Structure 1
Amino acid sequence: MANELVVIEKSTALEVFKSSDSVEDIIRKVEQEVNSFIPDVTTVKGRKEIASLAYKVAQSKTYLDGLGKDLAAELKEIPKLIDANRKTVRDRLDTLRDKVRQPLTEWEAEQERIEAEKQMLAWHEEALEMNIAFDKALAERIESDHEIALLMNEKFDRDLAEAKAEAERQRIAHEEELKKQAVEQARLEAEQKAQQEIEAAAQREREAKEVAERAEREKQEAIQRAAQEAKEAQERAEREKQAAIEAERRKAHEAEQARLAEEEERKRKEYAKRQEDKEHRRKYNQETLQALVSNGFDEKLATEFIKLVASNQVPHMTMNY
């Protein structure tokens, strides 16, 4: 038999406690019950009835207060349930979104990898073309410089031969002239003049020799200059070629480093997501375990039960993560 003076259906408890008038109605019912009671302390039965009514009032207070307390506790849990369900919606739909988009994400990653390989191949082909162009230009420059040096050498040889031939012609002509003069003039005058002319011829021969030597020196200097310029041009072209190759290598290296960094970031995010999911499951498993234990389950058996449900080994039961 119930000891409460009033009873409220649990389904209507919220409406009752939300209204001051409803609470007043309940209290008035208790007051009416108490006010209609006529106490009799002269008999044992009367005293028991007084004690019983007081007990019922106290029980009614405990009942109503407990009902309100349970209702308040349930209402406090509602935001937590809402937040938990919101998180479930977010996580589950995020997973579905990622699952749906995964083929596109993988395709996009593959396209980026293909584009990166195409770019690296294009840079490599460009570097090869530049190498070919440098080598061709260098070969043409060396060949041109060599031809110029040969032409200059031939010119110097011709000039030297002509200078020698002219000196010889002059010497022969002068000797013929001396012979003519010697016949016409007296022996002493002829000898003196011949001596003077011979000295002059020797001087001219020395001058011609100096001209030839100077021409030879200039020829050798020109050849050396041409060779030095060709060497410098070759070295300069090689330096430029190596600089271009190094620049392309740097580009390829930087592209590869960027690709590796993106790949590392993707792996880091995947790992972080797995860790977050692992922690999320661990938390939910722990909360489930605590709920089972608090309801009388053995902790070890409850743990094994959770493992079976989580691994889908119990028909018709799943873990709602």
Structure 2
Amino acid sequence: MSEVTDLVVIEKSNAMAVFTTKEQLDPLIEKIEKEARSLVPDVTTRKGRDAIASMAHKVARSKTYIDNAGKDLVAELKALPKQIDESRRIVRERLDALKDEVRRPLTEWEAEQERIAAEKAAEEERMRIEAEEKAALEALKKQFESDHEMALLMNEKFDRDAQEKSEQAERQRIAHEENLKRQAAEQAKREMEEKAERERAEAARRESELKLKADQAERDRVAAEQKAEADRKAAAEKAEREKQEAIAAEKRKAQEAADKVRREAEAKEAARLAEEKRIADEAAAREADVKHRKAVGTEIVNALTSNTSITRDQAIEVLAALKDGLIPRTKINY
């Protein structure tokens, strides 16, 4: 929307307001209408006709500019296609009508010039034919004059015949001229009627095109409404699906978290039980070792007291010295 026209400028920051509020769009179009209608049409001069064509071109450029601005906005704001397209339709119809309105004096002048040219051509053709007929008549008159001179030498009857021929030729000339005039007038009349018929047909065609455009715009509007409704339903269904999927995902996430907590608790409990078992096994092993060591010590003490003359207390002292490694080259094998 960077293009600048001679009649209107739409800032990008204000484009939304222009196409979505009638209070913004109407003054914009009215500004173009005021500027266009301020031109006083003058088809009598080349400058005046160029001014009319230039103003019509400016209106067309403004229509294209505003329409393109609407297209850009539609591309940027997919959520507002219906309202923007409606604004574009209003701009196209009103500015097309304004363009035709502004150019109408020039169009009518051009049609009038074509009619004048056709009449001029018909008049020139008539004058050419009259000139040819006049030349032929002059030649005939000269011939008649020559014949008359010769007829003076002839009898009265020959003179009467010559006079009758002259009168007959004059009557034929007058009748021929009248016939040429009538044909030229009829030709000009036919051409004017044909032109009027073409203009009526063209007007009917334009009216038909406008009606077709209006019907197409209505169909487009209905289709846009239907599409918007379908999009709304699809969006609602998608939102519901996403909501249900999000709920299911949250449930899965919660279940996974609960499973993780459960697994961690089970792992901790298993570790705790394993640690308790390890401690119990170590305690049992230590207790068994103590018992074993006591049994070995008792056997040693009993063997010393049985096989030597030392007392039990002395045997216990020897056992303690063996356990503490105080006696070289000796070791208790448990």
- Under TM normalisation by the shorter chain, which class is it? 0.3 to 0.5
TM-score, normalised on structure 2?
A: 0.38
Q: Which has the higher contact order (CA 8 A, sep 6+)?
A: 1
TM-score by length of 1: 0.40
